[in-house]
Structure 1
Amino acid sequence: MAADTGDYPSFTFGEGLLDTVTLDRLATQRVMPRLSTDPEVLNVINTSAQHVVNLLENEGKIYGVTTGYGDSVVRAVPPELVAELPLHLSRFHGCGMGRFLSPEETRATLAVRLVTLVRGWSGVSMELVELLANMLRLDILPRIPAEGSVGASGDLTPLSYIAGALAGERDVLHKGQIKLSREAFAQEGLKEITLRPKEALAIMNGTSVMSALAGLALEQSKRIAAAATRLTSMCSLGILGNTRHFDERLFNAKPHQGQMLIAKRIREDLAPMQENHEATRMQDRYSTRCAPHVIGVLQDAMPMLESVLNTEINSSNDNPLFDPETGDVLHGGHFYGGHVCMVADTLKTQVANLADLMDRQLATLVDTRYSNGLPSNLTGATGARAPINHGFKAVQIGVSAWTAEACKLTMPASVFSRSTECHNQDKVSMGTIAARDALRVNELTAQVTAAHMMAATQAIELRLNEGELTDVMVGPRVLNQMEKVREVVPFIAEDQPMDKMLRELTDKILTGAMDVTF
């Protein structure tokens, strides 16, 4: 691969492990991809490919090379047709539906598949590895439909669009245009490949789409959890709440580590308020008082989820595998995405809980029965114009709708296994569906987060305007967060459409551009 350009750091495939943080940065082009030039790495790949050639010459029978696929394993492929079989595999799986993966999701998928192939257990040629690496480097992105995988025998249908693209037969997005992959290759001085025996199967029979999507969802979830923590501090300020709910002694008495961390962050946010204000209520509502207990569940689960996903990303997960040292053929089920499904199902449940938490906090801010003196619906209008202004009334309704939809998607996908492919694939993971669900739950929850961020900023500013809070009481961390919100959203004094602001904030939350620091 060509040398890196610009000042971006790089990740070298074949050297070191790819974690979800780096995967997210590769997907957003904040880290540039490189392919190892280490002779040992390249030798393993070449040796693995030669094992396939040797087995074919000496034994004459390899699953998916001289046999049909799946339940069709009993069907022998005549020697003169063996060379055509990989292309047929990529073609008959070209039945994906639904939306196309975004550029970020596609880059992540390419990266995860490349990690698997460079390990040398898959029997693919150096020529294929280099072309796949160049596709990622040059941003030649296969158009991959999101729907059609049951998550065992891998992501066959969506990954077939990568196999077909490598062969020059599928559409790609390149330099802002949709074109045939062979056209994009020609424009970059590359050439499509002829898929060798086992190569289409090696590309397609794995967990790369679900792992990529779940990896991006996990990194988004971290950002949402951080935002929910900061918003709890802001909500507590907005309602002039009781800062002592986050006392360190309380959380030492129930020492879940993630929960303790969330409480610590809120406590530090609210330290200026605690020093300068005594709460009038003994106990605030659960959505404020118990926020560390809600956010803390996700925070405590995150290290385990991240560890499981990192293991999956850096695994050999197609079938069959070839021992790089001996060439022995190992038939198994590493294409099964159960671990990824568990990560995604867990993420979507816990993130939807954050949507529900923030929905309740926002409802507290807009309702005069519970807001401790804030104007109805947080309207900034006063005097004669107050009767026609309704502030955040419709936004709160929208938040309720987005929260309901997020919660609806939390049904675990793993329990909906469907027997398919003539009952050969009779127990499947549904990991790809779970990963897509997790991304959608994140999107909905980020919309809730954006609305709450606008409302909480408005609430604190209203208190500041009335002299019920001062800059000293609010403190530098929350004031800094408010300044970031105000770069997108003005103080809402008169009713106005908020959809564009909501969309911009939502995008910033999901991508990390709305930085939340502690």
Structure 2
Amino acid sequence: MIQLDGKQLTIADMKAILYEDEKVEIAESARAAVEQSRLAVEQIVKHKKTVYGINTGFGKFSDVKIAGEDTRLLQLHLIRSHACGVGEPFSEIISRAMVVLRLNALLKGFSGIRLEVLERLAYMVNHRIHPVIPQQGSLGASGDLAPLSHLALVLVGEGFVWQDGKSAASTEVWREHQLQPIELEAKEGLALINGTQAMTAQGVVAYSEAEKLACDSEWIAAMTIEALRGITDAFHPAVHEARGYKEQIDVATRMREWLKDSELTTEQGELRVQDAYSLRCIPQIHGASWQVLNYVKEKLEIEMNAATDNPLIFDDGKTVISGGNFHGQPIAFAMDFLKIGMAELANVSERRIERLVNPHLNDGLPPFLSSEPGLQSGAMILQYAAASLVSENKTLAHPASVDSIPSSANQEDHVSMGTIGARHAYQIIKNCRKVLAIEAICAAQAIEYRGVDYMAPKLGGKWQDVRNVVPSIKKDRMFSQDIERLADYLCP
């Protein structure tokens, strides 16, 4: 059981909740702050003090005062009107992440929402009630309004949830659980939807998969080193300590560990003086991507514990401030950076694939690793597929955060596009996984020509894992399924 208090949620906690079905509970330390914040909202309504989002309209309508008897209706109208998401829904795991992150943010006690609503969000996590949330439609400021409105609709019994992989009406689900939908009160609709949890949830899942893929890229690259009789001197610790980047040093260390006791690798001058950059510079290139991942993790863990709605309530209600913590710029930049870091892992992997299949570059291996060159094409089109994915990544890697379109009659005149960046980052990661799967297929096949018995012992186990998923290429076949199966193996 993971306790949520709005202050100390980590990526490791999120992995347990998302991938191991860990349950959550509201920390006792958070309850008092939530209740005090709610009391402040009730006092504002009682004394008819004008405060944005409690008794005013939203966005450009912020100057329109709302009568006290209409404050509940205002919140329902808000989430109905803002539920404008379109396109394919987020995966169920990202929807789950969104619920967890919104709950955690609201537990900070700055939002004026009732504890009853937050307990229902915790119930949704623990009973796997995951909203169906369309992916498209968020500008990333004022937060992820459209996606989070679809989440909020489930609470009031008007949205849809995932059930056995299909969409089901939330009213039916609440009936099955013998619970009534929530009736939102003053400020609660705004508190639920004014935040960055769509981009952050997608970012957390993207980061988790990217982290594993970065680890996998190293043993896959090490197999290619063996297949091409690469020079291990380039991984000597002195080289990397001379530059000083910790991530580069760490990659070089792990490469040495993967290649320890290999009889297929060479030393400089034995076959050639130096390797191509895609082999020789693995620590430098992969290490730089690890720098990106470390940056992204840091920003995500800050945002996961951030109050991102508006207005925020401080000093037991004495101070209510309309600010802009919903603006997704920090996560937008992080997601654009993640796109570049992962696209580069795919770029360099594709260059290694080319060296494995190109008879002018592969040090005597059969052309395209074909068992009958000419009659059988072997891995020729595997490289085509990798090149196509890499090219697609270059388009997706264009930074979403450099764009902005004004909204709400120019009241909201600069937006982050962070959710677009996060979605594109995830697509790049999926493409990168397929490229690395192709490299693993080609490297495993090439090693068969060199001699599996000569492999580094640690890598030999990985070669066997690949072979358990993708059989040896004895003759041409439909390789699409091989790529998909091995990509699935590389998933978390």
Fold-level similarity (TM above 0.5):
yes
User: Which residue of structure 2 lines up, in the alignment, with residue 94 of structure 1?
Assistant: 83
User: What percentage of aligned pairs have identical amino acids?
Assistant: 31
Correspondent of 2:455 among 446, 463, 474: 474
Give the letter for the 2:456 counterpart. G
CA distance in 2, matches of 1:41, 1:420: 35
Give the aligned partner of residue 116 of structure 1.
Answer: 105
Establish whether residue 287 from structure 1 lines up as the match of residue 287 from structure 2: no
Query: In 2 relative to 1, CA 327–127 (structure 1 residues): closer, same or farther, beyond 3 Å?
Result: farther
Deviations 1:442-469 (A, max 9, x none): 01111101111111111112211xxxxx
| Distance change >3 Å, CA 433–CA 177, structure 1 → 2 | closer
Equivalent residues in 2 for 1:241-252, closer than 5 Å: 241-252=230-241
Q: Shift of residue 288 of structure 1?
A: 0.7
Q: CA deviation at 1:481?
A: 0.9
Distance 1:115 1:391 in 2: 52
What's the TM-score once normalised by structure 2's chain length? 0.96
The SS at the match of 2:490 is helix
The amino acid that maps onto 2:461 is N
Of 14, 19, 38, the residue aligned with 1:23 is 14
Residue 503 of structure 1: which of 475, 484, 488 is its match? 484
- For residues 60 and 307 of structure 2, the distance between their equivalents in structure 1, rounded to whole angstroms, comes to 22
Matching of residues 377-416 of structure 1 within 5 Å: 377-379=368-370, 381-382=371-372, 386-416=373-403
Specify whether residues 211 and 92 from structure 1 end up closer, same or farther in structure 2 by C-alpha distance, changes over 3 A only.
same
Task: Name the CA distance, whole Å, in 1 between partners of 2:341 and 2:253.
Answer: 20
- Are 1:15 and 1:36, in contact at CA under 8 Å, matched by a contact in 2? no
Mean CA deviation greater in 488-497 or 167-176: 167-176
1:75 is the counterpart of 2:64 = yes
Alignment-derived partner of residue 128 in structure 1 = 117
CA distance in 2, matches of 1:292, 1:310: 26
* Counterpart residue number, 2:448: 461
Give the Cα–Cα distance (whole angstroms) in 1 for the partners of residues 68 and 45 of structure 2: 10
Matched letter for residue 57 of structure 2: G
CA positional deviation for 1:37: 5.5
Tell me whether 1:443 sits opposite 2:430 in the alignment: yes
1:52-85 residue CA offsets vs partner (Å, 9 max, x unmatched):
1011112432211211101110112223322201
Please tell me whether the aligned partners of residues 263 and 455 of structure 2 are also in contact (alpha carbons under 8 angstroms).
no
Q: What is the TM-score of this pair, normalised by structure 1?
A: 0.91
SS in 1 for 2:262: helix
The one of 342, 347, 361 equivalent to 2:338 is 347
Contact conserved, 2:83 with 2:146, CA < 8 A, in 1?
yes
Give the length in aligned residue pairs.
490
Is 1:490 the equivalent of 2:471?
yes
What is the rounded CA distance, in whole Å, between the counterparts of 2:86 and 2:6 in structure 1?
A: 35
Q: Is the 8 A contact 1:120 1:324 kept in 2?
A: no
TM-aligned CA distance change 1:235 to 1:195, over 3 Å: same
Measured against aligned partners, the alpha-carbon deviations of 1:188-230 in whole angstroms (never above 9, x if no partner) come to 2222101111111001000001011111111211122112222
Q: 1:194 is matched by which residue type in structure 2?
A: E
What residue identity is the alignment partner of 1:95? C
Q: Which runs of 4+ in 1 moved over 4 A?
A: 274-278
Q: State which of 23, 33, 37 in structure 2 corresponds to 1:44.
A: 33
Deviation at 1:507, TM superposition (A): 2.4
CA contact (8 A) 2:4 2:27 kept: no
Contact 1:139-1:174 at 8 Å conserved across structures: no
Whichever residue aligns with residue 473 of structure 2, its letter is: I
| Structure 1 counterpart of 2:411 | 424
TM-aligned CA deviation for residue 326 of structure 1: 4.4
Residue 88 of structure 2 corresponds to residue 107 of structure 1: no
Distance 2:292 2:84 in 1: 36
Q: Deviations 1:260-315 (Å, cap 9, x if unpaired)?
A: 11111112222313798544011111111112111111212333321111011101
The within-5 A match list for 1:247-266 is 247-266=236-255
Supply the distance in 1 between the matched residues of 2:131 and 2:234 (Cα, whole angstroms).
Answer: 51
**SS of the residue 1:388 aligns to:** coil
Q: 1:155 aligns with which of 133, 144, 154?
A: 144
Query: Does the 8 Å CA contact 1:167/1:195 hold for their aligned counterparts?
Result: yes
Instruction: Output the CA distance in 1 between the equivalents of 2:255 and 2:163.
Output: 45
Q: Contact 2:355/2:361 (CA < 8 Å) preserved in 1?
A: yes
Cα shift at 1:374: 0.7
Distance in 2 of aligned mates of 1:34 and 1:276: 49
Pairwise CA distance, 1:478: 0.8
Deviations 1:119-162 (A, max 9, x none): 11111111111111111111111110011111011000010001
1:285-364 equivalences under 5 Å are: 285-323=276-314, 325-364=316-355
Query: What corresponds to 1:195 in structure 2?
Result: 184
Q: Which amino acid aligns with 1:113?
A: R
Is 52-61 or 206-215 further displaced after alignment? Answer: 52-61
The answer to whether the Cα contact below 8 Å between 1:47 and 1:324 also exists between their aligned partners in 2 is no
Distance 1:163 1:32 in 2: 23
C-alpha separation in 1, matches of 2:179 and 2:322: 34
Offset of 1:45 from its aligned partner?
1.6
* Cα contact 1:117–1:316 (8 A) shared by 2: yes
User: Where does structure 2 lack aligned partners over 5 or more consecutive residues?
Assistant: none
- Structure 1 pair 461–164 and aligned structure 2 pair: CA distance change class (3 A): same
Output the CA distance in 2 between the equivalents of 1:31 and 1:414: 33
User: For residue 369 of structure 1, what is the aligned residue in structure 2?
Assistant: 360
Rounded Cα–Cα distance in structure 2 between residues aligned with 1:80 and 1:217: 44
Matched to 2:296, the amino acid is: L
Contact 2:3–2:27 (Cα < 8 Å) also in 1: no
User: 1:328 offset after TM fit, Å?
Assistant: 2.1
Alpha carbons 1:144, 1:161 under 8 Å: kept: yes
Shift of the alpha carbon at 1:494? 1.0
- Residue 496 of structure 1 deviates from its aligned partner by 1.0
Specify the code of the residue in structure 1 equivalent to 2:143: G
The one-letter amino acid of 1:357's match is V
* Counterpart-to-counterpart distance in 2, 1:80 and 1:50: 18
Q: How many angstroms does 1:25 deviate by? A: 3.1
In structure 2, which of residues 127, 151, 168 is the aligned counterpart of residue 179 of structure 1?
168
| Residue of structure 2 in register with 1:5 after alignment | none
Residues 45 and 125, structure 1, Cα contact 8 Å, conserved in 2 = yes
- Please state if 1:35 is matched with 2:22: no
Residue 163 of structure 1: CA displacement?
1.0
1:143 is aligned to 132
SS in 1 for 2:23: strand
Paired residues of 1:262 and 1:292 also in contact (CA < 8 A): yes
Deviates more, 1:207-216 or 1:50-59: 50-59
CA distance in 2, matches of 1:297, 1:307: 16
Deviation at 1:334, TM superposition (A): 0.3
What CA RMSD, in Å, does the superposition of the two structures yield over aligned residues? 1.7
Aligned-partner Cα distance in 2 for 1:324–1:494: 73
